Amino acid sequence: MPFDLNNLLKTGGELAQAAKDTAADLAQRGKRQLDLTAAQNRLAKAQRQLGALVYSLVRTGEENQPLIDKYVDAIAKVEAEIEALRAEGVEAAPAPAAPAKTCPQCGAEVEEDALFCGGCGAQL
């Protein structure tokens, strides 16, 4: 069987192009996933800020509807961005598992909001 250098070069070039295309596709998907995660983080921050603002206004008896509307509009824009990314098929990376809360007395795993340990009854 004769050695065909041209065929080998052609095949090698096709494989290199396929690898390049795959790498570019993976990079683009990763970027879109990061965009979604960033948008979700911005949404959570804006929601916390709105909650803090409303709480502060209620506590002081003040009203500031224009500022509340500003936060609500910002939240709506981020939600629209998230929906657009999801419509493109982008999914957020799974969140890392939070470390389990344990009882300081016996080491048993307890619910995050538990007041008492289910294992030994110690107050948490």
What are 123's strand-pairing partners?
116
Closest-CA residue to 112 (of 93, 90, 97): 97
How far, in Å, are 35, 53, 60, 70, 110 from residue 49 at the CA level? 21, 6, 16, 11, 30
Mean pLDDT of 48-63: 92
Tens-place pLDDT, residues 91-123: 876 666 666 888 888 888 888 888 788 888 888
* pLDDT > 80? residue 2: no
* pLDDT > 90? residue 50: yes
Q: In angstroms, what is the C-alpha Rg of the chain?
A: 26
Alpha-carbon dihedral 108, 113, 118, 124, rounded to 10 degrees: 70
* Percentage of residues of the chain with pLDDT beyond 90: 53
Closest-CA residue to 111 (of 120, 102, 123): 102
